[in-house]
Amino acid sequence: MNKITIAEQLMIFSRYLGQQVVIRSLLNDDSEVIGTLKGIRQNALLVDIDEVNRWIPLNDNFSICEVKLLLKPLKKLTTSIINTANSLPVQAFITPYYQQLGFDMPVFISPGHSCNCKYVYELDLADYRTASEILSSQRQAVMVR
């Protein structure tokens, strides 16, 4: 898989502000926490977890956690959503509209970048599970232990 830098990841995440994310700590355990992406700065994501804002640091040299957007694949687009998108006044608004609704879209990073035209999921920055599916799988894992 092609590696993308933290700066490139932050650029992708910035297009999905307001979307849910799943965070898995690489230090403590494998449990996953659900939050909402609220902001971005040079080396971190601001995530609202249980109504508490937390900065999640990101670094090219080491990772303390894995953050993925909870997105929907494009195959889940409905006719109603497509019709609304097609009625937008400018065609360039369609992609941001789909992103705002939480759909996975192909990315453009920079001219000639090897990851251009790949979906966020293909870059390992998205998860197609829903928050309820993640929480349900955690409950089942706890019951098995």
At residue 2 the predicted structure's pLDDT band, cuts being 50, 70 and 90, is low
Amino acid in position 14? S
Amino acid in position 45? L
Q: Is the pLDDT of residue 138 over 80?
A: no
pTM score, whole prediction: 0.90
Tell me how many domains the chain contains: 1
At residue 141 the predicted structure's pLDDT band, cuts being 50, 70 and 90, is low
What is the C-alpha to C-alpha distance for residues 37 and 114, in angstroms, rounded to an integer? 26
Domain range for residue 63? 6-144
Strands 126-127 and 65-70: parallel
Helices (H), 4-78: 6-14
Residue 112, in any domain of the structure: yes
Residue 109, in any domain of the structure: yes
Residue 1, in any domain of the structure: no
Q: What is the pLDDT of residue 3?
A: 80
> Which residue is associated with the tokens 């965070």?
23
Q: What is the pLDDT of residue 142?
A: 63
